[in-house]
């Protein structure tokens, strides 16, 4: 992970400000590329039981019956999985080992009940694979569902998808391969079906599945953002969406997420090298660039720097009627070795980018 710092612009100019970053160490204050619009954070996660949280990737959930019932899952690359309330407090911790990326899908049937299936890549030596969990939407409790081998030593990025009643797990690797499996509920836990393998040229991490369009987006960290057809029987040919160009993206391309709003779908991607988030509106096969934003210091909450994972929840969640973003922050003010996650109201992004 490349570590860079973000400097906030003056508070009086916050709404229209352009974020700047340290690009050449402590003395370098040069912004690159398309100016990023400043966005305020709405909150952050706080872990008081561990002074060295090695955060990485989040996943949001809200109850469609009552969106005030909401949580966020967040990985700790050293220790396991945190479940946070949206005020940032810890609701639950599952000590699962070295987890990297996390994602979820609702409506997974287990013994006649609909549960939320949560998955996360685990690269613990001697125990690598995919950790699955079941989150109960009635009790808001998470339980271990089983560790499944992915057939590789270091599963890295992770996302989930759904095609009709079929659920899928997707793992990306540092070798440039993408692995896609159907996931079903077996008598003793999750079962992976037939594997599909896609290939790009170098290290991958972030990915997201657009269930409605049946497409998969994958970030090749130093190269480009790509799209694949998600149908297991479809072509394995990738389509380039955006390239590391030092205008909109500065390597690494890290997290990739999808927001649906007002009948439109938007891609939000983390550009780790300059701590910004390019946003694209999906229009069929086209992806219209809308601009990019940076999360600045807000009411004592430190800015987001060198972000890794980013996630979105579309529609009402907690106190956010139009959706919420959550993203990793590699340097939290709580301590020199403490990382965490920041929350951003989707309305702030719309305002900043004027759409």
Q: Which of 297, 298, 295, 300 is nearest to 328 (CA)?
A: 295
112-171 pLDDT, tens digit per residue, is 999 999 999 999 999 999 999 999 999 999 999 999 999 998 999 999 999 999 999 999
Lowest-confidence pick of 12-26, 251-265, 324-338: 12-26
Beta-carbon contacts of residue 219 (< 8 Å; ≥ 6 apart): 157, 204, 205, 206, 207, 225, 226, 252, 253, 254, 255, 256, 269
pLDDT band at 321 (very low <50, low <70, confident <90, very high): very high
Classify residue 176 by burial, with Cβ atoms within 10 Å: 0-12, 13-18, 19+. Answer: middle
pLDDT at 30 over 60: no
pTM of the predicted structure, to 2 decimals: 0.91
pLDDT at 42 over 70: yes
> In 3-state terms, what secondary structure has residue 350?
helix
pLDDT score of 336: 83
Question: Is the backbone peptide bond immediately before 252 cis, with ω within 30 degrees of 0?
Answer: yes
Domains and CATH numbers, the chain: 6-353 (2.120.10.30)
CA distance 170 to 148: 13
């Amino acid at each position: 992970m490349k570590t860079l710092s973000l400097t906030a612009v003056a508070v009086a100019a916050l709404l229209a400000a352009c974020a700047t970053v340290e690009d050449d160490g402590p003395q370098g204050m040069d912004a690159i590329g398309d100016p990023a619009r400043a966005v305020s954070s709405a909150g952050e996660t706080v872990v008081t039981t561990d002074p060295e949280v090695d955060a990485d990737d989040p996943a949001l959930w809200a109850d469609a019956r009552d969106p005030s019932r909401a949580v966020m899952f967040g990985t700790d690359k050293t220790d396991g999985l945190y479940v946070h309330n949206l005020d940032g407090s810890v609701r639950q911790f599952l000590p699962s080992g070295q987890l990297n990326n996390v994602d979820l899908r609702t409506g997974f049937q287990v013994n006649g009940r609909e549960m939320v299936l949560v998955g996360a890549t685990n690269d613990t030596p001697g125990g690598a694979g995919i950790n699955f969990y079941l989150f109960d939407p009635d009790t808001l409790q998470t339980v271990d569902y089983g560790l499944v081998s992915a057939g590789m030593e270091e599963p890295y990025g992770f996302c989930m998808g759904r095609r009709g009643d079929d659920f899928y797990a997707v793992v990306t690797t540092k070798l440039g391969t993408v692995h896609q499996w159907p996931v079903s509920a077996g008598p003793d836990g999750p079962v992976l079906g037939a594997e599909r393998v896609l290939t790009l040229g170098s290290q991958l991490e972030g990915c997201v599945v657009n269930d409605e369009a049946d497409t998969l987006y994958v970030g090749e960290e130093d190269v480009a953002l790509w799209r694949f057809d998600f149908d297991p029987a479809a072509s394995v040919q990738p389509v380039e969406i955006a390239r590391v160009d030092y205008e909109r993206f500065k390597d690494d391309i890290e997290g990739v997420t999808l927001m649906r709003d007002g009948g439109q779908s938007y891609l939000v991607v983390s550009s780790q090298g300059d701590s910004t988030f390019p946003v694209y509106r999906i229009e069929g096969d086209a992806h219209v660039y809308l601009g990019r934003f940076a999360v600045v210091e807000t009411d004592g909450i430190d800015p987001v720097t060198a972000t890794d994972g980013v996630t979105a929840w579309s529609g009402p969640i907690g106190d956010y009627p139009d959706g919420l973003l959550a993203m990793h922050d590699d340097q939290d003010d709580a301590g020199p070795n403490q990382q965490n996650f920041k929350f951003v109201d989707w309305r702030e992004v719309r305002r900043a980018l004027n759409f």
